[in-house]
Amino acid sequence: MKINAQEILSELKSIVFSRTFDAILPPLVFAIINNFFTLNYALIFAVFTALAIIFKRIIKKENWKYSFVGLFIVIFASALAFLTDNASSYFLPAIFSSSLLLIITIISLILGKPIAALASHISRSWPLEWFWRKDIKPAYREVSIFWAIFIAFRLSIQILLFQSASPLFLAWSNILLGWPFTITILIISYIYGLWRLKNLGGPGVEEFKNNKKPPWEGQKKGF
């Protein structure tokens, strides 16, 4: 089975777009300003950075909705840091989201409805019945287990750094274990998933939708 780089880049582009920049810049600005100045200055600069990103998107007529959600997250995180007078509290929402995602992933595995399959169904609108086939679901279950291990690793790092009260290290860990690490995980998941589907011998999603009888060619693109 051959998977070229262009195919992987196309898959990632449909997921990531330009959100990476919007997500990592405000926390990084917060951590750097807090390291050299005061907490209040750091909070102000983080909020203004998020606002600047929104204005930039609007002026360039780009999609600004994700940036708008990011602004609310920045305001909420800033409020936590201000109320607790603790810069590390700014990163509590990231720790909470990692915890919630880990719980959801584990529950999905226990219920036999792996989150990788549900995520693919939502993003691609492929029929759920295809994902639950015995010759399809194992691939998504194994990828979901892989995701759970990654999320647990990221969460443990976040908690350790939060306890050490190091906002700058927290910021860098959230960046490095955020999109860069997530992109790596998605690439590995995509390559492994297609390989596993091929080995399971089930039908491709188009073959399933067209009620094609075996022998099947299997899934060739998309996971």
Q: Which two tokens stand for residue 137?
A: 């679901």
pLDDT at 10 (0 to 100) = 63
pLDDT at 33 (0 to 100) = 78
Structure confidence by residue, pLDDT tens digits, 169-212: 766 676 667 666 777 888 889 889 999 999 999 999 999 999 99
What backbone torsions phi and psi does residue 79 show, to the nearest 5 degrees?
A: -65, -40
pTM: 0.72
pLDDT at 24 (0 to 100) = 67
Give the residue from 203, 117, 208 showing the smallest Cα distance to 219.
203
- Residues (pLDDT < 70) of the chain are 1-24, 31, 35, 63, 66, 165-168, 170-172, 174-176, 178-180
Give the span between the Cα atoms of 143 and 137, in whole angstroms: 10
- HSE on the CB side for 120, CA within 13 Å? 29
pLDDT at 59 (0 to 100) = 85
pLDDT at 98 (0 to 100) = 86
* Cα radius of gyration rounded to whole Å, the chain: 20
Length, in residues, of the chain: 223
